[in-house]
Structure 1
Amino acid sequence: MESAREAGAVGRLVGDGLAGVVAVVRDTHRAISDRAFDAVGPVSRPVRAVHDAVTGGVYAIVRAAHATIPRLIGTTVEHGWRPEKSPLSGSPAGRVTLGVVNGIWGDTLDARHPDLATPMALRARDADVQPTAEDLRAAFPAATPRIVVFVHGLCETEDHWSLAADRHHGVAGTTLGSRLRREFGYTPVYLRYNTGLHVSDNGRRLAALLEEVSTAWPVPVREISLIGHSMGGLVIRSAGQQAAGAGHRWAHAVRNVVFLGTPHLGAPLARGVHRVAWLLARFPESRPIGELLRRRSAGVQDLAYGNLVEADWRAADPAALPSDTCTDVPFLPGAHHYFIGATLGGRPHDPLAAVVGDLLVPFSSAAGRGDRRRLPFPAGNGRHLGGLHHLDLLNHPAVHDQVCAWLAAPAAQPEGDEASR
């Protein structure tokens, strides 16, 4: 039973987490006491020996209790769970919780608690859809030759594409997907995936999944559009690069790619966490906390500068200060590429906008305009929206209007032109 497995996995995850916290406290205590005893000198050795023996035993007992009790509860619940109980992922709140946990520790979950790790899958009616002709036909009975795939960002799920849908004028509950279906005949397809994995790993999985979907789609696929929010845009770019290298057919059907608040050049917050972890690791007393910060997911680490390919992270030293060594990945040939970036202030080049951006991504990163890397967005294929934050870009009326305008009449896209500001 899925619900029982999730309950057991939650217990084991909580146990591991509590044991990790105890370990941080223990190591911090040890570093502080070592400095104090070293300052006193050899005369402190008898007291130090007694202190280390006592505290070591206490921490071992506490750590074992914190690790064992939640695991025991989880195991008990797992074996005694009633079949009628729905899984944690069966409710909106549970899906949001799992999305956040996967974003922060997704690679750890994938390796140690797979029942809580989110597998990459298409979603329809709150369920995974297998990429087979039978399942796709059942999930999308009104499938059209035009597909638009929505790829969410870090710590999100497909539910985020419906955030604040009631703020639209005219039709209540309008999402970008429903509007594209109504106005242009697109079939909206929503992806869910483990955002804590490396972007390149998710890109490889997405490339393979889209190849299966386009082959088994109920009607011949004439056109594919891809829309990514935040990290989702990086996953799309990585998938396109890997699909081109593997000779996947779906890549030739892509006509439009839209990036909403995508950190093409990285996110300052992700770099800041890395630098804080590096700084804390310099001192024995703070090193355990630094180690705890270093356990953030591979996906979060990739956001520092926008890693897209495996070579960007494979040889990198996770303990070193981050630097921009990302590989340039070309846009998909034959497709129009667009971006929308937001800032809390009204203008994209205000000093505050350069630092804060939309709270998570600066406009320069969303636009792909940096000192070392510049993405070739053509003039007219970029848009700044002032007074919005990062999550507004998922489902704001101004975003809807701009995306619909682009997809209704895509402009010519000569290589090398730059996005308008």
Structure 2
Amino acid sequence: MGSEAEIRAAGRVVGDALAGVVGVVRDTHHAIADRVFTAVGPVAWPVRAAHGVIAGGVYATVHGAHAVLPRLIGFAVGHGWRPARAPLSGNPAGRFSLAVLNGLWGDTLDGRHPELATPMAVRSGGADVPLTTEALRAAFPAAGPRIVVFVHGLCETEDYWSLAADRHATEHPTLGSRLERELGRTAVQLRYNTGLHVSDNGLRLSVLLDELVAAWPVPVEQISLIGHSMGGLVIRSAGRQGAAAGHRWVPAVRHVVFLGTPHLGAPLARGVHTTAWLLARLPESRPVARLLSGRSAGVHDLNYGALVEEDWRDVDPDALPRDNCTDVPFLPEAEHYFIGATLTREHDSPLATVLGDLFVPYRSASGAGDRRRLPFADGNGRHLGGLHHFDLLNHPAVHDQLCAWLAEPDPPAAEQR
């Protein structure tokens, strides 16, 4: 993305955000004032009329001032102003900010500020890799026939797979580097807009994997998919849609690993949704409810782990969340595994049930629900106590377990489910 377009888009986003805050304050103010004036009765009508004129003028002025900000930034850029370096994508803090922005409001960005919306792409060396044989050969000079695709979670980027790498005093600071050296796999990392519906990202992932397999420098013999958090849901959605479309990558998948994936949903997402519903009951708090309801489609999908379009298409997004999610079967040719973490040492203690790994309960990560239960085979799951959600991205215990699972020989064709 060019720095000029990025600066202009960032200015528009800031202007929209400020205007939104002003709107919440204005509407809350009006709701409270209306309740007071209504309680006082007709005697307050002259004051009410004057109040409306004065307050309306003040809010219109403030709103207009915020609307000017994007125009001022655009004018400055057009006349040669540049920051010392790119404000967002050119530095680590900026990339983190973009990831959070995409996660929380990515569907809005996709429609209104596409310059800041993250496209789904293979990443290498801090840049997108075009899905051509020449570009892939340059980005992956040691490309082999067995590839491992890493799909990150909500508000993350591919950089998250190397979290705390400096604290791991080993020759394999990341899972990808260890799989490459010990098992001869080629690690492929993606970046995508986590604010879109999981089903939309699932479709994009399925198409991307099909194009990746077609353009890979050597014939692909085997694919392993590793998803953290929301990334696991995107993988499951991609498998459903890829199988229906007859995509060539689907039969090549031999391992699917879920790290802290909320298969049955995330209580935090449901809590925010329920809070917004409750706030919408009263006119004074309704503006705040609208602000909370503006969270992305991807966050909405985390209520109960929605994987397909039918799970959200005809559902009122402002109604209380209910588990109407479709059961999506595992890919028949692949072994499926999960790792779930809890802050506590034991996964079945009362405190573990409440805290989980901070974001995802162990029952959700293991797919062991009352209405829905994922068919993980015996031995294909692991609990790690004393860890939090983001430890699962790059922890030595996760490395050891995944290397053990992926090193297992493929079952004979007749035994594959």
Cα deviation 1:375-417 (Å, max 9, x = unaligned): 000000000000000000000000000000101116869899x
The one-letter code of the counterpart of 1:39 is: A
Question: 1:43: Cα distance to partner?
Answer: 1.5
The one-letter code of the counterpart of 2:402 is: V
Matches within 5 A, 1:114-193: 114-171=114-171, 174-193=173-192
The one-letter code of the counterpart of 1:348 is: H
Cα deviation 1:132-175 (Å, max 9, x = unaligned): 1121111111100010000000000000000001222431x610
Cα deviation 1:169-205 (Å, max 9, x = unaligned): 431x610000000011111000000000000000000
- Contact 1:161–1:394 at 8 Å: present in 2 too? yes
Paired residues in the alignment total 415
- Contact 2:367–2:374 at 8 Å: present in 1 too? yes
Question: Within 2, Cα distance between the matches of 1:194 and 1:170?
Answer: 32
Please tell me whether residue 277 in structure 1 is matched to residue 279 in structure 2.
Answer: no
TM-score normalized by structure 1? 0.96
Please tell me whether residue 65 in structure 1 is matched to residue 61 in structure 2.
Answer: no
Question: Within 2, Cα distance between the matches of 1:114 and 1:42?
Answer: 50
Structure 1 stretches lacking a partner, 5+ long? 417-421
Structure 1 residues 33 and 158: alpha-carbon distance in aligned structure 2, compared to 1, 3 A threshold: same
Structure 1 residues 276 and 71: alpha-carbon distance in aligned structure 2, compared to 1, 3 A threshold: farther
Question: Within 2, Cα distance between the matches of 1:71 and 1:82?
Answer: 15
The one-letter code of the counterpart of 1:387 is: G
- Contact 1:8–1:78 at 8 Å: present in 2 too? no
Question: Within 2, Cα distance between the matches of 1:54 and 1:415?
Answer: 73
**Mean Cα deviation higher: 347-356 or 359-368:** 347-356
In percent, how many aligned pairs have the same letter?
Answer: 72
SS in 2 for 1:224: strand
- Contact 1:344–1:357 at 8 Å: present in 2 too? yes
The one-letter code of the counterpart of 1:240 is: G
Question: 1:71: Cα distance to partner?
Answer: 3.9
Question: Within 2, Cα distance between the matches of 1:137 and 1:87?
Answer: 31
Please tell me whether residue 246 in structure 1 is matched to residue 245 in structure 2.
Answer: yes
Question: 1:78: Cα distance to partner?
Answer: 5.4
Structure 1 residues 140 and 60: alpha-carbon distance in aligned structure 2, compared to 1, 3 A threshold: same
Please tell me whether residue 37 in structure 1 is matched to residue 44 in structure 2.
Answer: no
Question: 1:74: Cα distance to partner?
Answer: 4.2
- Contact 1:11–1:75 at 8 Å: present in 2 too? no
Aligned twin of 2:221: 222
Aligned twin of 1:376: 375
Aligned twin of 2:402: 403
SS in 1 for 2:115: coil
Question: Within 2, Cα distance between the matches of 1:84 and 1:187?
Answer: 36
- Contact 1:14–1:71 at 8 Å: present in 2 too? no
Question: Within 2, Cα distance between the matches of 1:83 and 1:96?
Answer: 18
The one-letter code of the counterpart of 1:408 is: A
Question: 1:86: Cα distance to partner?
Answer: 4.1
Question: Within 2, Cα distance between the matches of 1:249 and 1:61?
Answer: 58
Question: Within 1, Cα distance between the matches of 2:311 and 2:63?
Answer: 37
- Contact 1:176–1:395 at 8 Å: present in 2 too? yes
Cα deviation 1:353-387 (Å, max 9, x = unaligned): 11110000000000000010000000000000000
Q: CA RMSD in A?
A: 1.7
Structure 1 residues 146 and 79: alpha-carbon distance in aligned structure 2, compared to 1, 3 A threshold: farther
